[in-house]
Amino acid sequence: MSSLQIRDMPEDVYEALAARAERHRRSLAQQAVSDLARIPEYEARERRLAIIGQLRGAGGRPRRSLDPVRLIREARDR
């Protein structure tokens, strides 16, 4: 398994990581791996929200001129 060493971590980032680790009863390393493993989930969520934003026009109403199938295919290709 690969390993990662982090140097010069900002104090506020370290404290936030330590707080989450304590809350979940994990070591700092276990919490860091858990947090890093969730990155693909967050990226997928951002892509979905971007597509929804494109589908909605001003005022939150759907745009008629956009093709949702084309938008989803374009997002998959990214």
Per-residue pLDDT reduced to its tens digit, 28-54: 999 999 999 999 998 998 888 888 887
Q: Please indicate, yes or no, whether residues 33 and 46 belong to a single structural domain of this protein.
A: no
Structural domain boundaries, residue 23 = 1-37
Are 33 and 47 found together in one domain? no
Q: What is the dihedral of CA 53, 54, 58, 63, to 10 degrees?
A: -130
Of the pLDDT bands very low, low, confident and very high (cuts 50, 70, 90), residue 61 is: low
Is there a single domain that holds both residue 32 and residue 64? no
CA–CA separation, 39 and 56 (whole Å): 26
pLDDT of residue 32: 94
Span 18-34, mean pLDDT?
A: 96
pLDDT at 60 over 80: no
What is the reported pTM?
0.58
Question: Are 4 and 29 members of one domain?
Answer: yes
